[in-house]
Structure 1
Amino acid sequence: MNKNLRLLIPVLLAAAACQDRGSGTSGAEVPARTNFLDVAGMDTTVKPGDNFFLYASGNWLKKTAIPKTETGWGSFYTLYNDNLKNLEQILKEAAAARDKPGSAGQKVGDFYASGMDTVTIEKLGYDPIKPLLARIDAIKSPDDLIAFITSGYAEGQGDLLSFYVGPDDKISNKNAVHFGQAGIVLPDRSYYLDQDDKAKKIRQAYKKYVSTLFKLTGSAPAAADQYTDHVIRLETALAASHSTPVELRDPQKNYNKFAVSDIQKRTPGMNWRNVLDRLLIKTDTVLVGQPRYYQTLNTLLRSEPIELWKQKLRFDAINSGAPALSKAFRDARFEFFGRTLSGQQAPTERWKTIVNSTDDNLGELLGQLYTEKHFKPEAKKRMLELVNNLQKVYKARIEKLDWMSADTKKKAIDKLESFLKKIGYPDKWKKYDDVTVGRATYYANLQSARKHAYREMAEKMGKPIDRTEWGMTPPTVNAYYNPSYNEIVFPAGILQFPFFDFNADDAINYGAIGAVIGHEMTHGFDDQGRQYDKDGNLKDWWTPADAAKFKEKADKVVKLYDSFKLYDQQVNGALTLGENLADIGGLNIAYDAFKLTEQGRDNSKRIDGFTPDQRFFLGFAQVWRIKTREETMRVRLKTDPHSPEMFRVNGPVYNMEAFYKAFNVQPTAKMYVKPADRVGVW
């Protein structure tokens, strides 16, 4: 995925499918939803001004148990699981239909059938990756090693490099190749370098996992343990060169353009012209986000024995292939990534895994079948109306800002009005003509899809930017802003309850999907997005005085979120700044837009005992009612730019005067913030 996408929710929570729940978006006849607020799930023993997240969802949190197969539970998780059933039905029908070879139905149906054929997969064991392991065994020199890690990408199995082809950040109408840090398997550098007990425990479990994979492919126990030490030694050295998650958020510092000859001088052990040729990429310049990683990799490739590197490559190949191999490999992977890192108590059901795999690899083929059955044009029309309404409100808010000069305001509004809006599904579907899919060859199907995806990406070099391209598949329950395209994108999957329902009152829809729309719009003006102009170029369009005022306000947001803590871990206000700005700005914009509706203008008519304003804030809060396993949350607190859900609710509401008025919150409330101390930018 493009590094620039600003997601609504972290990838680990992103729903991969969509089932209609009475929203009016389904082709099937379903009863219309009449209840849009879970009053029983509230905990009215908690005062709204003491902890609004618990007030809105406290009883639900007390009564809800996280299923053993999940890392958490709540709004996004229930959508995710209900929605997978919908896609499963499509795939089962496609598999049973046995459509003509090459058709969308045949490819997605046979792909799904091959992944569900665990009998064949079990018989094969690790046979599918034996040719790859043999290639690794044949490596004799550093040059062989570099040839292997680069040429493999075109075959769907490269290693040690992270790169993609997409718009040059400073020349957004031109494609460039972007290289980034890679080479490690644990979530980030801190898992290798931290010396606290929790980090050591995870590393010990990781060692066990690495050793297990070596043993499953024939290594004797003593040799497996030795190989494991080699792998972790190399990964730790690579991790030390990595930038931190906070450092990765600075687009200027991570924009480093080199002529091929210049990067060659910095990394003389890597023949970059040869590397690019093997990657099938024709260019004279490269963008290297984190040069320190490539300098370290260059040194280690020549200084460390080839045998050590071969064990690292061998492990990477087995680890990458494990989800498509026999049960012993899948179980080993679950024990570490599922149980240890995420706290998951039981493996995800096989059918869910394969539905997700189909969406990941043949997403726009599956998306075509999905939208034909479950997405109506009326949903797209209504969503566009909402987007346009919030865009108008955002413009009005910018015009009223008392801290921004007229010159910067004009450029901000130009950018706002230049947003490319994508709703539902692409206008132009991707083709998968070169993907070969068989009913009994799951691993080969994966490789064919990966080869296709790689060729599709590499062939962008030298071609015009295709702004019709999407970064998510249509059934995805998520949304994003992409600064290089200056676009806001809302896949069909998110246009359903609790985010959006044709039958819901405006308070609910504006508190839910309205806040999502406002969130993505605000990403265009968060601490990262504000650095890109209306055409998607990384370019300073602010006056120095306005930029300084923005930073002063943003620093207060950092300080606020730094004060939040969960499981004895502090929220990283710098890491989460962009998402926090989007949450705060998005809710303010959604509220202003709601007040323009008939229901919003008349705040006297109660539903479920609540005024329209109260329903707006409750609808927003209940969207974010999620209960997460401690292990998963600890990973998120270190690596995820999104704050925990409690603070995604409480952070914005306690900085809005409208919230205080709606619930008559007094200065004696536990989370009361004085008007002079309230934070926000937009």
Structure 2
Amino acid sequence: MNVRPLACALIACLIAMPHADAQKKRAAKPKAPAAPTACSDFYASANADWLRSNTTPPASGSTSALEQLAARSRQQQLELLDAASKSPQNNVQKLLGDFWASGLDEAAVERDGAQPIAPLIARIDAIKNAKDIPPSIAALHQVGIPVVFNFGADVDLQDLERHIGYFAQGGLGLPDPAYYTRNDADTQALMGRYRNYIEKILALTGTPEAQIKTDAQAVLDLETRIATASKSLIDLRDPRANFAPVDTKTLAKQYKRLQLGDFLKAQGVTDDRVSMANPQLFTQLDTLVGSLKPAQWKAYLRWRVGDAMAPYLAKSFRDAEFEFRGRVLRGLAAPQSRPQQVLDAITLAAGPMVGHEYAARYYSPATDKRAEDIAKQVREALGQALDRDTRFSAAAKAEAKTKLDRLKIEVGTPNRDLDYTVQPMGRGSFGSNMLIASTWRHREEMKRIGRGNADRRWDVLPQDPSLAYDITQNRLIVTAAMLQPPVFDTTKDAAWLYGSYGALVGHELSHGFDNRGRYVDSKQELRDWWTPTETSAWDGLSKRIAAQYSGFDYPELKGVKVNGAQTADENIADLAGVELAWSAFGSAEPSAAKPAQQSFYKGWASLWPQRMTEEIARQRAATSVHAPGQWRTNGPLRNQPSFGEANACKPGNAMQLAADQQVRLFP
């Protein structure tokens, strides 16, 4: 051991010094911090085992109980597809099993090369004049490759009971139209790399080498023309500003060269109106069809097909696509594993098929009934809470009660299933299977368009963990994947389920009646049904909650507090969720003993344990509308007298605010 001279002298001096009585006694070791208790830090106390067992993964920078639920769902999907490939039990499983096996057979994918897109390229090569261009555009949309513009189904903002088709901007290879017109050095460098990527894809799709640079410039020129007629990303944020219904019968006359009337027929759409919020763009596109040479359109369409299908073709395509879209645009260091890539592809093209079989494999009717029963009880608790809510005027309260009476609960899978009639896939060509599945999904999407079809499906898949309030349809959606631990743990007692799942239900239902739900009334019409009374009461409540949470230290960050104003709406929903679930539990088990009461709150805490790096914590502190897990747990409970009673906490303890400091939504 190397000891410095000064240190040696100091040690010798200390040895030679006579020891006084006080010095004979060893200095007392600093006391270890007291173990957290229910009354000092319920989050740390209730989640002690999880926090001991889990560390921050270096790859993602964060982990949590709900992130682990999502990972478990992905693993279940992998197991489902593997089983379907080995011993399919029905036609849908046969389709999925073949799809899965074809994607994992990388040798077959290499042998397939660019063959899956050969028929599409041949059609593009057959374009002779301007009249041939629109049918090619329509045909590519049919197979799930949107070119030139986007067209999809979404809710009709004038009639929330139906979906209409939305003609929207698209057709660009870059995510922001502004890239095409900026002149700064960084953008110009990006555009240079983008040009290189276009050239690689054009070469892989069969463009002669001598023509590649000319065609790449033609692609960039056409995309720039589209971009200059497109709205900025900021302008696209407001759905109302991007909703402009027009009669479909006028499209054929107004956009003759683009043949939009025939486009709708090709997609199977017969509705009487669509939305077109940027007619200037489509006027420009209509002009371009007639003014640009067919050769330029052919180069563009060939590029868009190659780019869209690159992740599902041979390695040369995949490498080119990842180098630009993965490494440059998304900052990824390496591609995902092959099974994850194939799963993502199947989810994109045939996600509802996977959801159908996922629910059949992992979701039981008993779970469905139990989950629906608890959700209905929480809905009833919300009705009772609205009756006694002093923040609502008589008129607003009547509207809220009517809206609640009409609120639907859908658990597990969508109420209306899809048509799974699909062309057989086989195991020979993953790229061809991708096109078959994409064609099917586009067909089913187009069926959403029309009156009475707004509730045709969810905007989430059954295999993705989700519990959400659908504001336009006034319904609660609970996916099959969400109904497993920690959200719905059937090994726990009823109190735990109310505290975990029930409180999440209450959280989401409250959004139908908060400062977001105020904009859709009981008739599912867009209007603000609040009066100044509700607005004033909400502002006061939001300020009190914001002040509470702004005093909380942000985990992993020194000197940083939770942004109470940024997280106020979700914090209010958390408080509502716990209150409503506790009320529902009290009605279901009015004589619950202390252990059951404590179990209720442990169920709530079990949702929120998390680990994260300082970098991730800093990102979330700046941007997330949710408080960190510690305060999603503790924040609402500090305001609950019932929590203090269940755990024998005294006013003034960290977990029990004094009565005059507590915030209650439904006293």
TM-score range for the pair, normalised by the shorter chain length: 0.7 to 0.9
1:612/1:323 CA distance change after superposition, 3 Å: same
**Compared CA separation, residues 241 and 188, structure 1 to 2 (3 A):** closer
Counterparts in 2 of 1:522 and 1:489: CA distance versus 1, 3 Å:
same
Residue of structure 2 equivalent to 1:121: 109
Superposition pairs of residues 186-335 of structure 1, within 5 angstroms: 209-210=197-198, 212-214=200-202, 216-217=204-205, 226=217, 230=221, 233=224, 237=228, 240-244=231-235, 247-248=237-238, 251-260=239-248, 270-288=258-276, 294=282, 311-335=299-323
The alpha-carbon deviation at position 666 of structure 1 amounts to 9.4
Residue 334 of structure 2 is aligned with which of 346, 361, 364? 346
1:97 correspondence with 2:78 = no
1:56·1:618 contact (CA, 8 Å) conserved in 2?
A: yes
- Equivalent of 1:436, from 386, 409, 424? 424
The alpha-carbon deviation at position 145 of structure 1 amounts to 4.2
Q: Give the aligned residue type for 1:500.
A: F
Q: Do residues 483 (structure 1) and 478 (structure 2) align?
A: no
| Conserved 8 A contact 2:197-2:321 | yes
Shift of 1:497: 0.5
Once residues 553 and 262 of structure 1 are traced to their aligned partners in structure 2, the CA distance between those partners, rounded to angstroms, is: 50
TM-score for the superposition, normalised by structure 1: 0.73
Q: Take 1:676 and 1:299, find their aligned partners in 2: how far apart are those partners?
A: 65
SS in structure 2 of the partner of residue 446 of structure 1: helix
User: Which secondary structure does the structure 1 equivalent of 2:147 belong to?
Assistant: coil
Q: Give the counterpart letter for 2:431 in structure 1.
A: Y
Shift of 1:549: 3.7
- Write the mapping of 1:663-678 to structure 2, written as runs, cut at 5 A: none
Q: How has the CA–CA distance of structure 1 residues 443 and 422 changed in structure 2, closer, same or farther, with 3 Å as cutoff?
A: same
Contact 2:578 2:636 (C-alpha < 8 Å) held by counterparts:
no
Q: Which amino acid aligns with 2:581?
A: A
- Aligned counterpart for 1:64 among listed residues 40, 55, 61: 55
Kept in 1: contact 2:150–2:169 (CA 8 A): yes
One-letter code aligned to 1:618 = A
* Aligned equivalent of 2:20: none
Q: How far does residue 121 in structure 1 lie from its aligned partner after superposition?
A: 0.9
More helix by share: 2
User: Which residue in the other structure is 1:620 paired with?
Assistant: 607
Q: 3-state SS of the aligned residue for 1:502? A: coil
| Alignment partner, residue 87 of structure 1 | 77
Which one is further off, 489-498 or 308-317? 308-317
Other-structure match for 1:589? 580
Q: Which of the numbers 653, 658, 661 marks the counterpart of 2:639?
A: 658
| Structure 1 residue 515 displacement after superposition | 3.3
Deviation at 1:302, TM superposition (A): 7.3
In 2: Cα distance, 1:60 partner to 1:208 partner: 48
CA displacement 1:49-90 (0-9 Å, x = unmatched): 99979996999599634365x686443443333333333333
| Residues 1:78 and 2:65 are matched in the alignment | no
1:47 and 1:55 in contact (8 A); partners too: yes
Aligned partner of 1:542 among 501, 516, 529? 529
Q: 1:168 offset after TM fit, Å?
A: 2.8
The answer as to 2:446 corresponding to 1:465 is: no
Q: 1:648 to 1:551 in 2, by over 3 A?
A: farther
Deviates more, 1:384-393 or 1:471-480: 471-480
Matched residue of 2:165: which SS?
strand
CA distance in 2, matches of 1:141, 1:575: 55
Partners of 1:289 and 1:547 lie apart in 2 by 33
Whole-angstrom CA distance in 1 between matches of 2:248 and 2:78: 47
Mapped partners of 1:677, 1:435: distance in 2: 61
Does the 8 Å contact 1:92/1:109 carry over to 2? yes
1:378 aligns with 2:369: no
Tell me the alpha carbon deviations over residues 634-680 of structure 1, each in whole angstroms, 9 at most, x when there is no partner.
79988xxxx3665476478546652697597999989x999889798
Select 1:517's aligned residue among 488, 501, 505: 505
Q: How many percent identity over aligned positions? A: 24
- 1:31 matched to which residue of 2? none
What does the per-residue CA deviation read over 1:93-147, in whole Å, with 9 as the maximum and x for residues that have no partner? 3322367xx8233222212112222111112222322333444455566665444
CA distance in 2, matches of 1:174, 1:500: 33
Q: What is the CA–CA distance in structure 2 between the aligned matches of 1:379 and 1:133, rounded to whole Å?
A: 49
When residues 147 and 614 of structure 1 are mapped into structure 2, their CA distance, relative to the original with a 3 A threshold, is same
Letter of the 2:307 partner, please give it. N
Q: State which drifts further: 168-177 or 208-217.
A: 208-217
Distance in structure 2 (CA, Å) of the matches to 1:531 and 1:403: 17
Are 1:423 and 2:411 counterparts?
Answer: yes
How far off its partner does 1:499 sit?
0.9
- Secondary structure at the aligned position of 2:79 is classed as helix
Return the offset for 1:440: 0.9
- Please, which runs of 5 or more residues in structure 1 have no aligned partner? 1-41
Secondary structure at 1:319 match in 2: helix
Q: Deviations over 1:294-339 (max 9, x none)?
A: 5676677778887666555444322210221112322343344444
Q: Is the partner of 1:422 in helix, strand or coil?
A: strand
> How far off its partner does 1:520 sit?
2.8
Separation in 2, partners of 1:589, 1:357:
40
Structure 2 CA distance, aligned partners of 1:678 and 1:532? 26
- Separation in structure 1 between the aligned mates of residue 426 and residue 374 of structure 2, nearest angstrom: 43
Bigger RCO of structures 1 and 2 (CA < 8 A, at least 6 apart): 1
Work out the CA distance in 1 between the residues paired with 2:537 and 2:298: 49
Match of 2:402 in 1: 414
Task: For 1:394 and 1:297, locate their aligned partners in 2 and report how far apart those are by CA, in whole Å.
Answer: 51
Deviation at 1:410, TM superposition (A): 1.5
Task: Say whether the 8 Å CA contact 1:142–1:302 is kept in structure 2.
Answer: yes
Q: Distance in 1 between matches of 2:188 and 2:545?
A: 29
Quote how far apart the aligned CAs of 1:351 are: 1.9
Distance 1:349 1:390, change over 3 A: same
Quick check: 1:384–1:423 contact (8 Å CA) kept in 2? yes
For the pair 1:355 / 2:324, whether they are aligned, the reply is: no
Q: Which moved more, 1:331-340 or 1:499-508?
A: 331-340
Q: Which residue of 2 aligns with 1:16?
A: none
What is the aligned counterpart of 1:404 among 388, 392, 415? 392
**Please, which runs of 5 or more residues in structure 2 have no aligned partner?**
1-32
Instruction: Name the amino acid aligned to 1:586.
Output: G
Q: Which amino acid aligns with 1:86?
A: Q
Task: Write the distance in 1 (CA, Å) between the matches of 2:562 and 2:319.
Answer: 32
Compute the displacement of 1:494 (Å).
0.8
TM-score, structure 2 as length reference? 0.74
Native 8 Å contact 2:80 2:358 kept in 1: yes
- Secondary structure in structure 2 of the residue aligned to 1:452: helix
- Tell me the secondary structure at the aligned position of residue 490 of structure 1: strand
Alignment partners' CA distance in 2, 1:429 and 1:495 = 20
Contact between 1:43 and 1:57, CA under 8 Å: does it hold in 2?
A: no
Q: Check whether the contact 1:213–1:329 (CA below 8 A) recurs between aligned residues.
A: yes
What is the CA deviation profile of residues 516-546 of structure 1, one whole-angstrom value per residue up to 9, with x for unaligned ones? 31233233334444322334x3332615435
Q: How far off its partner does 1:616 sit? A: 4.7
Q: Equivalents in 2 of 1:377, 1:241: separation in Å?
A: 47
CA RMSD for the aligned pairs?
Answer: 5.3
The structure that has the greater radius of gyration is 2
AA aligned to 1:545 is: P
SS in 2 for 1:423: strand
Work out the CA distance in 2 between the residues paired with 1:84 and 1:394.
Answer: 34
Shift of 1:492: 1.3
Q: CA deviation at 1:500?
A: 0.9
**Greater shift after overlay, 625-634 or 361-370?**
625-634
| Cα distance, 1:600–1:471 mapped onto 2, change above 3 Å | farther
3-state SS in 1 of match to 2:265: helix
Q: Distance in 2 between matches of 1:92 and 1:179?
A: 38
- Distance verdict in 2 for CA 1:403–1:511, change over 3 Å: same
The amino acid across from 1:658 in the alignment is N
Task: Say if 1:605 and 1:315 are closer, same or farther in 2 by CA, change over 3 A.
Answer: same
